[in-house]
Structure 1
Amino acid sequence: MQYNEIGKTGMKVSNLGFGASSLGGVFHGIREDEAIQAVHTAVDGGINFIDVSPYYGHLKAETVLGKALKDIKRDSYVLSTKVGRYGKDGVNYWDYSAKRAKESVYESMERLNVDFIDLINVHDVEFANLQQVVDETLPALVELRKEGVVGHVGITDLQPENLKWVIEHSEEGTVESILNFCHYCLNDNLLTEYFDFFEKRGIGVINASPFSMGLLSMRGAPDWHPATEALREACAKAARYCDEQGYPIDKLAIQYSTSCNDHIATTLFSSANPKNVLKNIDYVNEPIDLQFVDKVKEIIGDQMGVRWKNS
């Protein structure tokens, strides 16, 4: 496992990070004891960055993760959670007000059984009024940073142009890291167009969803995935080729997202299954076949970088 600094924060994190969305049963039902063991397996395997949100499973992911963290030394992991996006009684809702942001941080700490959040993020700013994020949400989190309640402040979104806008309109030093997903993976390198912008400002880059929300897997993307049919077919063709060559596409995908760019501090994957966690750690610790990467990109062809709605 390699370790990189997130921007100028001083936080050194593993190039493979643990995304705890699966602990909330976001993708399918889970066994809580197995999910807790998945967290322990990740940390034991060298992963020291854990990312979660009150939105995942509508508080369930943070609650389950909190149970897992009880048995892990606090100095052995860097913890990230979010504010702004929530859910209750099966209904999603958003609240980017300063008051709710501060309340949410303390509520998260209670569920997570910690008294300090290393990195607090404004979650999926595309759902917010971006000006409110600049004028209200971020300043509230900066206050908590000054008070020592949180260590660092970041923002997350699917659309990198939104991240850029918020940074450009915020006071320098407010945003210390960004989290973007599905835009640095085998079929999409859009995030690379923003690396210089982030680096010039000392802002760390966190990548997520190396499997492009299921596109880069033998199982294929779920029905709700917003990708075009042509992109689905291209990725499925690439997955079949990888399978025929004995080099699973999920292995290539996670190796690519964690080893092929120095601008990215860590790449998040999510699983509530200890065996899958261990498998992905093993994948990342093996050398990547870059010629195979080129072949897969060739198969995906003109569907490389094709964006879908809200991406």
Structure 2
Amino acid sequence: MGRRKVGSTPVELTELGFGASTIGNLYRVTPAADAAAAVDAAWEAGLRYLDTAPHYGLGLSERRLGAALRDRPRDEYVVSSKVGRLLVPNEAPRGVDSEGFVVRDDLRRQWDFSRDGVLRSIEDTLQRTGLDRLDIVYLHDPDDHWRQAADEAMPALAELRDQGMIGAIGAGMNQSAMLARFLRETAADVVMLAGRYTLLDQSALDDVLPAAAELGKSVVAAGVFNSGLLSRDRPTQGMKYDYQEASPALVTRALAIAEVCAAHGTTLPAAAVAFPYSHPEVINVTLGMRTAEQVGRNVELYRQHIPEGLWDDLRAQGFIRSDVPAANEPGRGARCL
């Protein structure tokens, strides 16, 4: 599996990443054995970049990921986690977490992008994972906390990076405009962009991708299925788009894209995984992986050959923007297009 460098840092990511939110019991229970088997399968397939966060299962994802990696050679893999949500005792538990994870709510999340909050969060993550260091640390969803995130959290991360305690730093969000600000106005090396450079939404071409190209920084693409609508060969009504039920118009558009994919001998999910690599600054696509079977499917999607003519057809029919880099552009970053 190919590897790409994170900006000007020494950190290298495999082109496909393991998203560990699902092994934190996102939406439903994942048995511990299934979570461990998923990490094992990812390792066997050559994935060496794994992403987690305190938010995922109130620490469950971090604990499970750390346990699964415990006997692996530490220099052979890259782990990212996130700061901004401290886990603190919940004084009024109701039994189950209210933010989408099927776990007990003995803890709760507390927004904190202060310097002390960042340091405490990293220390807590290291304890939960059992790791000696984190390779990448992202600010997690700082949408409503720009000032503190930019003025306190990012300088704290930059200091740790400059001391060699972290390899690279950045921010992860579901919007692109503020991520562009982090690239332009702070010491961020990389951003994790969720859902804004996909077959259904290329708005990142207006801000974060030009910023990364101009500054020599990197983008990790997440949410490439837009919460599920692009994850099947034939989308249906009731599927999710950006965490909500997709509108009939979006389902119709996704179906039309699927038909173009089929005409080129490929599938909508395979094209959805391949598409972000069309931009040179996208160095990785990270997908959620709950079981060994899901790992196998995602790796198969990543490895599928996508005919170059597909992108030309999608562009000609108005399904992707005209400024999406063309397959024959010199220096573009696509892996399989």
How far apart are residue 177 of structure 1 and its match?
Answer: 0.9
Q: Kindly report the root-mean-square deviation, in angstroms, between the aligned alpha carbons of the 2 structures.
A: 2.7
Deviations 1:149-195 (A, max 9, x none): 3222111111111112234433xxx2111111112222222223332
Residues 184 and 190 of structure 1 are in contact (CA less than 8 Å); yes or no, is this contact kept in structure 2? yes
Distance 1:86 1:299 in 2: 46
The one-letter code matched in structure 2 to 1:136 is E
Aligned 1:195-234 pairs, distance under 5 A: 195-218=209-232, 221-222=239-240, 224-225=243-244, 228-234=247-253
8 A Cα contact 1:17 1:268, kept in partner: yes
**C-alpha spacing 1:58/1:119, structure 2 compared with 1 (3 Å):** same
Question: Structure 1 residue 233: deviation in Å?
Answer: 3.2
Q: Unmatched 5+ residue regions in structure 2?
A: 99-108, 324-337
Letter in 2 for 1:74: R
1:222-265 deviation digits (Å, cap 9, x = unpaired): 384275442233224544775798743212211223x4232211
Question: What SS is found at the alignment partner of 2:81?
Answer: strand
SS in 1 for 2:119: helix
Structure 2 partner of 1:309: none
Separation of aligned partners in 2, 1:299 and 1:234: 11
- Compare 12-21 and 211-220 and name the one that shifted more: 211-220
Structure-1 residue corresponding to 2:326: none
Q: Structure 2 CA distance, aligned partners of 1:16 and 1:80?
A: 14
| Partner AA of 1:254 in structure 2 | V
2:128 corresponds to which letter in structure 1? Answer: R
Contact 1:186 1:293 in 2 (8 A): no
Greater helix share, 1 or 2?
Answer: 1
Higher relative contact order (CA 8 A, sep 6+): 1
CA contact (8 A) 1:180 1:208 kept: yes
Give the direction of change, closer, same or farther, for the CA distance of 1:254–1:27 in structure 2 (3 Å limit): farther
Other-structure match for 2:303: 285
Which amino acid letter does the alignment assign opposite residue 156 of structure 2?
A: A
Tell me: CA distance 1:234–1:62, structure 2 relative to 1, closer, same or farther (3 Å).
Answer: same
Q: What is aligned with 1:66?
A: 66
- Once residues 268 and 27 of structure 2 are traced to their aligned partners in structure 1, the CA distance between those partners, rounded to angstroms, is 20
* Cα pair 2:183 2:211 within 8 Å, conserved: no
Distance 2:245 2:179 in 1: 21
What aligned pairs does 1:139-150 form with structure 2 within 5 A after superposition?
139-150=155-166
Pair 1:179-2:197 in alignment: no
Q: Of residues 293, 300, 305 in structure 2, which corresponds to 1:275?
A: 293
Give the SS at the match of 1:152: strand
Q: How big is each residue's C-alpha offset from its partner over 1:5-36, in whole Å with a ceiling of 9 and x where there is no partner?
A: 11111222111111111111113321211111
Aligned to 1:132: 148
Structure 2 length as normaliser, TM-score?
0.80
Q: Which amino acid aligns with 2:203?
A: L
Whole-angstrom CA distance in 2 between matches of 1:300 and 1:222? 22
Counterpart Cα distance in 2 of 1:296 and 1:82 = 35
Residue of structure 2 in register with 1:29 after alignment: 29
Structure 1 residue identity aligned to 2:204: L
User: Could you say which residue in structure 2 is the equivalent of 1:263?
Assistant: 281
For residue 200 of structure 2, give the secondary structure of its aligned residue in structure 1: coil
Q: Assess, with a 3 A threshold, how the Cα gap between structure 1 residues 216 and 141 changes in structure 2: closer, same or farther.
A: same
Once the two structures are superposed, the pairs formed by residues 47-58 of structure 1 within 5 Å of their partners are: 47-58=47-58
TM-score between both structures, scaled by the size of structure 1: 0.86
CA apart distance, 1:199 = 2.5
Is residue 2:55 matched to residue 1:41? Answer: no
Contact 2:257–2:319 (Cα < 8 Å) also in 1: no
Q: Secondary structure at the match of 1:33?
A: helix
Partners of 2:182 and 2:245 lie apart in 1 by 25
Q: For the residues of structure 2 that align with 1:301 and 1:169, how far apart are their CA atoms?
A: 32
Moved more, 79-88 or 119-128: 79-88
- Which amino acid is 2:64 matched to? V
Matching residue within 140, 146, 159 for 2:175: 159
User: Contact conserved, 2:41 with 2:295, CA < 8 A, in 1?
Assistant: yes
Give SS of 2:193's match.
strand
- The worse-fitting range, judged by mean Cα deviation, of 39-48 and 79-88 is 79-88
Checking the alignment, whether the CA contact within 8 Å between 2:11 and 2:167 is kept in structure 1 is no
**Cα distance between partner residues in 2 of 1:303 and 1:78:** 33
Could you tell me the percent identity over the aligned residues? 26
Query: Where has structure 1 moved over 6 Å in runs of 4 or more?
Result: 243-246, 297-300, 302-305
Report how far residue 119 of structure 1 moved.
Answer: 0.6
Cα distance, 1:250–1:297 mapped onto 2, change above 3 Å: farther
